[in-house]
Amino acid sequence: MVDKTLELFDCGHRACGGCGAALAARLVMKGAGTNTIVVSSTGCMEVFSTPYPETAWKVPWIHSLFENASAVASGVEASLKKQGRTEKVVIMAGDGATFDIGMICISGAFERGHDFTYICYDNEAYMNTGIQRSGATPYDASTTTSPAGSCSFGNKLPKKDMPQILAAHGAPYVATASIAYPADLMQKVEKAINTKGPCYVQVHAPCCTGWGFESEQTIAIAKLAIETGLWVNYEMVDGKVAKVKKVVKKPVEEYLKTQKRFRHLFKPKRQDAEIATIQAMADRNFEKYGTEIKLKKE
């Protein structure tokens, strides 16, 4: 059972007001519990939570490099096992550390089958260095390295399907979650922690600074991502989709309009073809995962 009152990610850290990642860390730790060792990659969370000599982590925590969290965690897990210790190992890494620079280490660690839980807090770009695109950046999002311009609509590539890649490695438990659904998120973390082997939970964590929205909108935007089908909350057990979050479908532009990173799709003029392309991506998600709740017509 998740102890919802447990606070292992303390207040006083340096995250922006309305930071989705900070909320993700807090919720993840409630799900993980006190008998946990956290391995962090370099990134926003590492920086805002551990300015020496202060730390927001009330559990043992280690950060080594940007790309190697899963290799460090492999060593931690092996070390604990050899000493007969019972702590659980949780990796906290951003999408850049996960989708891009950490890919080799992740693949190796998942292949080896270490008993750890990998949490990717996905804010869909390199926020720590100033909002550059990563493999998790959605199609048409404007970032500082995929800027929208007179001959560009921003990021030209679709988001990499990281959960499927890790499921293909034989991960026994893979899930996506969102800070908009805290109970679900905590339960998924708890489930991952208690599943033997390498588990992966990818948490959608909107970034008000990087995406361009007011800080009180973080949860609402995370929720809209799911309602429009641009983010799907699901679980995969032994490679098979076991549980999905069903929603009443909303058009993608309700989500896109809320954020400056998609502003170029509406101003100076509305880009119908681009919006339609994104809608088609959402439609494919609804179809693939069967997440649409069809309301009875009056």
Partner 1 sequence: MLEITEGSFAVAEAVRLCRPQVISAYPITPQTHIVEALADMVANCQLDADYITVENELSALSACVGASAAGSRVYSATTSQGLALMFEVCFNAAGMRLPIVMTIANRAMGAPLSIWNDQQDSISLRDSGWLQFYAEDNQEATDLHFLAYRVAEDHSVLLPALVCFDGFILSHTYEPVDMLTQEQVDTYLPKFTPYQRLDAADPISFGMYATPDYYHEFRYETDNAVKRAKDVIKNAGKEFGTMFGRDYSAMVEEYRLDDAETAIVAMGSICGTIKDAIDEMRAEGKKIGLLRIRVFRPFPSEDIAQALSKVKRVAVLDKDISLGAKGAVALEVKDAMYGKTIPVLNYILGLGGRDVRKKDIAAIVAMVEKGQGDQFYGLRKEVL
Measured distance CA(104)–CA(275) in Å, rounded: 34
The DSSP code sequence of 58-123 is SS-EEE--SS-HHHHHHHHHHHHHHHT---EEEEEEEHIIIIITTHHHHHHHHHHT-S-EEEEEE-
237 lies in the site for partner 1, by CB under 8 A: no
CB of 110 to partner 1, least distance (A): 11
What residues between 202 and 231 interact with partner 1 by CB under 8 A? none
Picking from 177, 278, 161, 189, the residue whose alpha carbon sits closest to that of residue 226 is: 177
Please pick, from the candidates 5, 11, 12, 53, the single residue that binds partner 1 as defined by CB under 8 A: 53
Instruction: Give the Å distances, CA to CA, from 114 to 83, 163, 294.
Output: 15, 17, 41
CB of 40 to partner 1, least distance (A): 8
Stretch that binds partner 1, among 15-23, 35-43, 202-210, 248-256 (CB under 8 A): 35-43
Binding footprint of partner 1, residue count (CB under 8 A):
45
Stretch that binds partner 1, among 29-37, 129-137, 175-183, 274-282 (CB under 8 A): 29-37
CB of 29 to partner 1, least distance (A): 12
Q: Which is nearer to partner 1, 89 or 256 (CB)?
A: 89
Three-class SS of residue 222?
helix
DSSP 9: B
Measured distance CA(123)–CA(144) in Å, rounded: 15
Please pick, from the candidates 67, 95, 124, 235, the single residue that binds partner 1 as defined by CB under 8 A: 67
Residue 197 Ramachandran class (φ > 0 left, ψ -120 to 50 alpha, else beta): left
Please pick, from the candidates 30, 45, 46, 199, the single residue that binds partner 1 as defined by CB under 8 A: 46
Give the CA count within 13 Å in the CB-facing half-sphere of 296: 1
129 lies in the site for partner 1, by CB under 8 A: no
50 lies in the site for partner 1, by CB under 8 A: yes
Measured distance CA(39)–CA(166) in Å, rounded: 19
Cβ pair 104, 70 in contact under 8 A: no
113 lies in the site for partner 1, by CB under 8 A: no
Please pick, from the candidates 20, 27, 30, 74, the single residue that binds partner 1 as defined by CB under 8 A: 74
105 lies in the site for partner 1, by CB under 8 A: yes
Q: Which is nearer to partner 1, 89 or 177 (CB)?
A: 89
Residues contacting 47, CB < 8 A, separation 6+: 14, 128
Give the chain's radius of gyration (CA, Å): 19
Q: Which is nearer to partner 1, 37 or 275 (CB)?
A: 37
Stretch that binds partner 1, among 75-83, 164-172, 175-183, 267-275 (CB under 8 A): 75-83
Measured distance CA(102)–CA(166) in Å, rounded: 13
Please pick, from the candidates 80, 219, 247, 281, the single residue that binds partner 1 as defined by CB under 8 A: 80
57 lies in the site for partner 1, by CB under 8 A: yes
Note the residues at the interface with partner 1 (CB under 8 A): 34-37, 39, 46-47, 50-53, 55, 57-65, 67-68, 71-83, 85, 87, 104-105, 107-109, 111-112
